[in-house]
Amino acid sequence: MPTPFYGEKDIPQMMRELGVPVERRLNGEPFRTYGLRDTADLELLQGEGSTFASRVETLTVLTGALPHLDEAVPLVIDDVDCIIIQTRTEGDGALTTIFFRKA
């Protein structure tokens, strides 16, 4: 049996089932969604004969699910206060990866 194709309309349900709760407050109004949290080692700099790597924490959310995801914006990820370091839109733009640190 062929594997079913998953499209953009399937992402919110997958995030709810597999993700963690995320909240962003803007002017006192809460915006809530779910995201996939990950911790990975990432090569930050690579040169002749040397590499600098670091462990980074990321959260992947549906693009547009949270407003104004700018650097230094606070988020609550799985009941932990965090700060956005950087964001990056992935692939076709349906998902955004948020690089964050604990506040």
CATH assignment of 8-102, among 2.60.40, 1.10.3300, 2.40.10, 2.40.360: 2.40.10
**Domain locations in the chain?**
8-102
Q: What percent of the chain has pLDDT over 70?
A: 94
Give dist(CA 36, CA 16) in Å, integer: 9
Give dist(CA 87, CA 48) in Å, integer: 28
Provide mean pLDDT across the span 17-36. 95
Give dist(CA 20, CA 59) in Å, integer: 9
Query: In a 3-state reduction of DSSP, which class is residue 18?
Result: helix
Predicted confidence band of residue 68 (pLDDT cuts 50, 70, 90): very high
Provide mean pLDDT across the span 22-46. 90
Per-residue model confidence (pLDDT) at position 92: 84
Per-residue model confidence (pLDDT) at position 97: 95
Q: What percent of the chain has pLDDT over 90?
A: 64
